[in-house]
């Protein structure tokens, strides 16, 4: 049932308060609606997060929501897959058909033969997990997971007993911010917004940036460490070495609140700054300087990003970085990294409804215990294994894929193999805002609601939930529907567990600890209780030892190394010297632009006009060597394929590193491909083994490539 919208009226406009979800940042927003049409969006000055600020994407929400190319009604494929021939179908008819086909596949091949996919940080994230459990399939994915965020969450839980986030919102400002593989002035995810970082730096926090490129954030830092992509673990070990050997760790905290210090001290004895310099290409002097700056300027924040997870040594890389907080006592102190308050109930994902035996059928669970096993934070399928099961039927055939807000041809490694996998499916359903290269391959394309068309409870920062806000539906565009509604309607037709509960029932359950309903929260806007610091002084940390585990026995029991270690990336100048003769440069992928969110918004004129073409960043010395001029089209080639981009010549990158942007396709070009093979970074990336033994992470950074002018 469509929910009633109760506006505040002013000057013939309807004015609403909500939460911007154009990305997964979480800015408080004010929306202005006239005659059922969104006409303006601005930041809400009452929001404790953004305090009135808003990025260019959020401000241009009306152009996105009202775009003529929005999907407005359900579509069914008429011709062959990828033909681009569609017919409109009423909602009841299309949902009946999809449910019938899903039920047939489920009965014939088991629920594990049906997979669910979704995009990163969506409002419906946990509802996809709920739907998967109710359907009985253990196989769902999100393009990050092993490559983004799950290693950091899991390692935080193992090391500190909970996830930590930066304290930008209390009365004590940080004195130092160490940005590691993270560019928050552009990304600003999960409630830790760009503007909060900028304000902290402007107030005097000293910044350190670990990044192969001098990013927008790095340019505001006092020290830039241009690490070789994929070698972050070596840098972390060397910084631990300096902090321990120089005695600049927090002795009181380490003695009282950590275990394993003596084992760690012995372990890192050989990991000197000089050793790390030969691996990371960062000078030993700068490694020492960074360690001293971080350890000596308290309180300090360590802003870590997905750059440290996108390699086959993901677990130990994240562990090495995480230990820096424990050594310096920068945990749950005002102005440092703080543990969550968790003020609402966790989302009811119906994990108890997953049929017995399905855990063993989850693709990758047996091999990657911290991704898909019983110890996993959010058990999910291993993406390379899942897509190969679609393609080859090994270890069993995955016949159907239902996607909610994801474009895997752009956002999953090795796009050629992803295409070959999708084409083999018996059923592909895509729910999205616009027709994408992935949607163009589907049997059914369903029109998704955009954030001003959505009701949801938003807890921020993600995972820790210190602040809860109401996102509310204020308009209706065509026949678009909220993803949760689509899943619930399919669940009813399939008679799945939990299908008798509405989304509002779920949200009311989440809010029960606050004594609120969703309707109450919409009126209040947000709930933001005073943060309680040093919670560990009451009951210790939520680890087996009740302390920060520098030496992690839980990992040891699972067969993983209890202390962090370094492993050279499988494709690199040191590990693959013969390959490096043909591909002499180190490739880093995944850099973002403020105007876009992953592969989204390239059809939005006001945003695209600021970034009309994909770019590759190269150093002036490299450009000169190959006769490349700024702004000209060049070809970047890896052992997997080639793409074309425009050269951006800059000294803000190492001479031996090439950086390509992520998520490029061309909505203005003819379908069904929409230029997906031209400038797509994932044509270059690798999803092959070896994988991280705990998470199954694969190498997206530190690969090898070459660059040359594009021939006319």
Average pLDDT estimate for 170-175: 95
Average pLDDT estimate for 474-480: 97
pLDDT at 7 over 60: no
Banded pLDDT at 711 (limits 50, 70, 90)? confident
For residue 412, which of 128, 81, 123, 686 has the smallest C-alpha distance?
686
Q: How far is CA 200 from the centre of its chain?
A: 23
Rg (CA), the chain: 24
Banded pLDDT at 8 (limits 50, 70, 90)? low
- Assign residue 482 the CATH number of its domain: 3.40.50.740
| Bridge partners of residue 701, in order along the sequence | 588
Torsion-angle region of 676 (φ positive above 0: left; ψ -120 to 50: alpha; else: beta) = alpha
pLDDT at 645 over 70: yes
Enumerate residues 6+ apart whose C-beta is below 8 A from 93.
none
Handedness of CA 233, 236, 238, 241 (dihedral sign): negative
Residues 388 and 515 in one domain: yes
pLDDT at 189 over 90: no
- Assign residue 187 the CATH number of its domain: 3.40.228.10
Supply the DSSP symbol for 331: B
Q: How far apart are CA 321 and CA 341, in angstroms?
A: 23
Domain-embedded: residue 544: no
Q: How far apart are CA 513 and CA 507, in angstroms?
A: 12
Domain-embedded: residue 561: no
Domain-embedded: residue 543: no
- Residue 311: its pLDDT value, please? 95
Residues 100 and 176 in one domain: no
Residues 583 and 682 in one domain: yes
Residues 364 and 511 in one domain: yes
Q: Is 291 helix (H, G, I), strand (E, B) or coil?
A: helix
Place of tokens 């010395």: 621
Domain boundary among 341, 368, 397: 341
- Average pLDDT over the chain reads 95
pLDDT digits (tens, 9 = 90+) for 371-391: 999 889 999 999 999 999 999
- Residue 11: its pLDDT value, please? 63
Residues 389 and 443 in one domain: yes
pLDDT digits (tens, 9 = 90+) for 190-240: 888 899 999 999 999 999 999 999 999 999 999 999 999 999 999 999 999
Enumerate residues 6+ apart whose C-beta is below 8 A from 697.
146, 147, 151, 309, 310, 311, 312, 314, 315, 691
Q: How far apart are CA 145 and CA 87, in angstroms?
A: 35
Helix (H) or strand (E) holding 445: strand 444-447
Banded pLDDT at 420 (limits 50, 70, 90)? very high
Expressed in angstroms, the distance from the first to the final Cα of the chain is 57
Domain-embedded: residue 682: yes
Domain-embedded: residue 70: no
- Residue 204: its pLDDT value, please? 96
Residues 234 and 324 in one domain: yes
Residues 413 and 314 in one domain: no
Residues 227 and 126 in one domain: no
Domain-embedded: residue 3: no
- Residue 10: its pLDDT value, please? 60
And the tokens for 43? 């930041």
Number of Cβ within a 10 Å radius of residue 592: 17
Q: How far apart are CA 75 and CA 145, in angstroms?
A: 30
Domain-embedded: residue 668: yes
465 vs 424 pLDDT, higher one? 424
pLDDT at 3 over 50: no
Enumerate residues 6+ apart whose C-beta is below 8 A from 429.
98, 400, 401, 402, 403, 442, 443, 444, 445, 446
- Residue 1: its pLDDT value, please? 32
pLDDT digits (tens, 9 = 90+) for 625-638: 999 999 999 999 99
pLDDT at 5 over 50: no
Average pLDDT estimate for 347-366: 96
And the tokens for 555? 């990992």
Helices 273-280 and 232-245 pack at an angle, to 10 degrees, of 170
Strands (E), 151-285: 164-166, 176-180, 206-210, 223-225, 258-259
Banded pLDDT at 2 (limits 50, 70, 90)? very low
Strands (E), 570-656: 585-591, 615-618, 633-638, 641-649
pLDDT at 434 over 50: yes
And the tokens for 50? 């953004």
Q: How far apart are CA 691 and CA 443, in angstroms?
A: 32
Banded pLDDT at 9 (limits 50, 70, 90)? low
Domain count of the fold of the chain: 4
Give me the phi and psi of 221, to 5 degrees please: -100, 155
- Residue 712: its pLDDT value, please? 64
Residues 323 and 456 in one domain: no
For residue 55, which of 163, 146, 189, 180 has the smallest C-alpha distance?
189
Output the CA torsion 615→621→627→633 (10° steps): 0
- Residue 210: its pLDDT value, please? 98
pLDDT at 313 over 90: yes
Q: How far apart are CA 197 and CA 175, in angstroms?
A: 12
Which percentage of the chain shows pLDDT scores above 70? 98
The full 3-state SS of 676-706, as one line of letters, equals CCCCCHHHCCCCCCCCCCCCCCCCCEEEEEE
Residues 246 and 110 in one domain: no
Domain-embedded: residue 532: no
Burial label for 482, CB within 10 Å (0-12, 13-18, 19+), is buried
Number of Cβ within a 10 Å radius of residue 250: 20
- Residue 144: its pLDDT value, please? 82
- Residue 4: its pLDDT value, please? 40
Q: Is 16 helix (H, G, I), strand (E, B) or coil?
A: strand
- Residue 188: its pLDDT value, please? 84
SS3 content of the chain, % helix, strand, coil (to 5): 30, 20, 50
Banded pLDDT at 482 (limits 50, 70, 90)? very high
Expressed as residue numbers, the domain containing 444 is: 75-145+360-527
- Residue 637: its pLDDT value, please? 98
Residues 218 and 86 in one domain: no
Beta 657-661 vs 585-591: how paired, if at all? parallel
Q: How far apart are CA 140 and CA 11, in angstroms?
A: 47
Contact 467, 459 (CB under 8 A): yes
pLDDT digits (tens, 9 = 90+) for 653-694: 999 999 999 999 999 999 999 999 999 999 999 999 999 999
Contact 30, 43 (CB under 8 A): yes
Q: How far apart are CA 569 and CA 567, in angstroms?
A: 6
Residues 373 and 521 in one domain: yes
- Assign residue 671 the CATH number of its domain: 2.40.40.20
Q: What angle do CA 706, 711, 712 make, to 5 degrees?
A: 160
Enumerate residues 6+ apart whose C-beta is below 8 A from 578.
none
């Amino acid at each position: 049932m469509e929910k009633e919208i109760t506006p505040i009226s002013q000057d013939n406009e309807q004015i609403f308060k909500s939460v911007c979800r154009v990305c997964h940042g979480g800015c408080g927003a004010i929306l202005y609606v006239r005659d059922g049409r969104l006409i303006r969006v601005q930041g809400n000055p009452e929001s404790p997060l953004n305090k009135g600020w808003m990025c260019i994407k959020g401000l241009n929400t009306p152009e996105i929501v009202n775009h003529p190319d929005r999907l407005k009604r359900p579509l069914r494929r008429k011709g062959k897959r990828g033909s681009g021939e569609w017919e409109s179908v009423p909602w009841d008819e299309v949902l009946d058909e999809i449910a019938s086909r899903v039920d047939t596949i489920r009965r014939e091949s088991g629920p594990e033969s049906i997979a669910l996919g979704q995009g990163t940080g969506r409002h419906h994230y946990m509802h996809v997990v709920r739907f998967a459990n109710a359907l009985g399939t253990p196989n769902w994915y999100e393009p990050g997971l092993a490559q983004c965020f799950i290693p950091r969450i899991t390692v935080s839980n193992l090391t500190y007993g909970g996830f930590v986030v930066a304290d930008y919102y209390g009365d004590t400002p940080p004195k130092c911010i160490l940005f590691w593989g993270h560019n928050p002035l552009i990304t600003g995810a999960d409630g830790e917004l760009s503007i909060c970082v900028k304000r902290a730096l402007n107030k005097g926090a000293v910044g350190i940036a670990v990044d192969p490129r001098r990013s927008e954030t790095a340019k505001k830092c006092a020290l830039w460490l241009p690490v070789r992509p994929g070698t972050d673990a070596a840098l972390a070990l060397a910084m631990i070495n300096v902090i321990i050997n120089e005695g600049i760790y927090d002795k009181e905290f380490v003695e009282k609140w950590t275990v394993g210090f003596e084992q760690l001290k012995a372990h890192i004895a050989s990991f000197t700054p000089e050793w790390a310099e030969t691996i990371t290409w960062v000078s030993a002097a700068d490694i020492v300087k960074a360690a001293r700056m971080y350890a000596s300027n308290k309180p300090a924040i360590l802003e870590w990003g997905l750059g440290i997870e996108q390699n086959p040594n993901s677990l130990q890389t994240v562990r090495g970085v995480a230990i820096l907080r424990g050594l310096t006592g920068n945990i749950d102190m005002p102005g440092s990294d703080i543990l969550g308050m968790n003020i609402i109930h966790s989302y009811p994902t119906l994990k108890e409804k997953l049929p017995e035996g399905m855990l063993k059928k989850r693709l990758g669970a047996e091999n990657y215990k911290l991704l898909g096993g019983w110890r996993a934070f959010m058990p999910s399928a291993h993406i390379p294994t899942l897509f190969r099961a679609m393609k080859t039927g090994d270890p069993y055939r995955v016949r159907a894929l239902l996607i909610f807000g994801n474009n895997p041809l752009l956002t999953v490694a090795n796009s050629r193999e992803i295409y070959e996998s999708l084409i083999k499916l018996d059923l592909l359903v895509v729910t999205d805002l616009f027709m994408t290269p992935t949607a163009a391959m589907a049997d059914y394309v369903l029109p998704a609601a955009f954030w001003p068309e959505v009701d949801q409870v938003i807890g921020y920062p993600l995972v820790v939930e210190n602040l809860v806000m109401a996102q509310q539906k204020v308009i209706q565009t065509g026949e678009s529907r909220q993803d949760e509604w689509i899943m619930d309607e399919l669940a009813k037709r399939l008679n799945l567990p939990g299908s008798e509960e509405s989304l509002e029932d779920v949200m009311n359950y989440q809010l029960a600890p606050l004594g609120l309903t969703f309707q109450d929260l919409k009126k209040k806007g947000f709930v933001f209780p005073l943060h309680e610091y040093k919670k560990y002084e009451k009951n210790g940390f939520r680890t087996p030892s009740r302390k920060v585990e520098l030496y992690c026995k839980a990992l040891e029991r699972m067969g993983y190394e209890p202390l962090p270690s370094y492993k050279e990336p499988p494709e690199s100048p040191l590990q693959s010297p013969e390959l490096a003769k043909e591909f002499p440069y180190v490739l880093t992928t995944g850099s973002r632009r403020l105007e876009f969110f992953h592969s989204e918004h390239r059809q939005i004129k006001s945003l695209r006009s600021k970034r009309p073409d994909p770019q590759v960043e190269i150093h002036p010395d490299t450009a000169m060597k190959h006769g490349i001029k700024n702004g000209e089209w060049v070809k970047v080639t890896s052992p997997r394929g080639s793409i074309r981009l425009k050269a951006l010549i800059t000294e803000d990158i190492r001479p031996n590193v090439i950086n390509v942007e992520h998520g490029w396709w061309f909505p203005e070009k003819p379908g069904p491909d929409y230029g997906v093979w031209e400038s797509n970074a994932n044509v270059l990336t690798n999803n092959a083994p070896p994988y991280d033994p705990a998470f199954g992470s694969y190498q997206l950074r530190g690969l090898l490539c070459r660059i040359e002018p594009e021939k006319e």
